[in-house]
């Protein structure tokens, strides 16, 4: 079945860039997503990328997709304290119909 994996924790200094990585197994994945979850809140879609793209940039966010290695990353430039949250990678594919499968999330903490 489909599987999405992420490292559990990342700590960066305020103002530095954060890079959160994700790997997935479903080669038919068509869309890959990054969601942000703040404590006690629901999931907020940050950005997504279609599988025929290899990069997408949106203000401080850059998504890189290596389809051959099934590797997705999210880079947050100039990381701020408000970026502290759990970041979930997710994927959907034609084979999984409308299902969105999530990774375990990466907890990003910011140090001064």
Partner 1 sequence: DAMVIQNPRYQVTQFGKPVTLSCSQTLNHNVMYWYQQKSSQAPKLLFHYYDKDFNNEADTPDNFQSRRPNTSFCFLDIRSPGLGDAAMYLCATSLGGSGTEAFFGQGTRLTVV
**Min dist. Cβ of residue 67 to partner 1 (A):** 14
| HSE-up of residue 84 (Cα within 13 Å, Cβ side) | 10
Nearer to partner 1, 27 or 77 (CB): 27
Which residues bind to partner 1, rule: CB under 8 A?
A: 4, 30-31, 33, 35, 40-45, 48, 50, 86, 88, 92-94, 96-105, 107
Smallest separation (angstroms) from partner 1 to the CB of 95: 8
Nearer to partner 1, 11 or 17 (CB): 11
The three-point CA angle 85-48-89 to 5° equals 45
- Return the closest-CA partner of residue 108 out of 47, 49, 21: 21
Say if CB 76 and CB 47 are below 8 A apart. no
For partner 1, give the closer residue by CB, 17 or 95. Answer: 95
Tokens of 107: 């907890």
């Amino acid at each position: 079945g489909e599987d999405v994996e992420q490292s559990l924790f990342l700590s960066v200094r305020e103002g530095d860039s954060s890079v959160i990585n994700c790997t997935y197994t479903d080669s038919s994945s068509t869309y890959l997503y990054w969601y942000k979850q703040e404590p006690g809140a629901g999931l907020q879609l940050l950005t997504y990328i279609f599988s025929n793209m290899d990069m997408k940039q949106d203000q401080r966010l850059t998504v890189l997709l290596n389809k051959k290695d099934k590797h997705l990353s999210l880079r947050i430039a100039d990381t701020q304290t408000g970026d502290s949250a759990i970041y979930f990678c997710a994927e959907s594919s034609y084979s999984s119909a409308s299902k969105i499968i999530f990774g375990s999330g990466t907890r990003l903490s910011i140090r001064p």
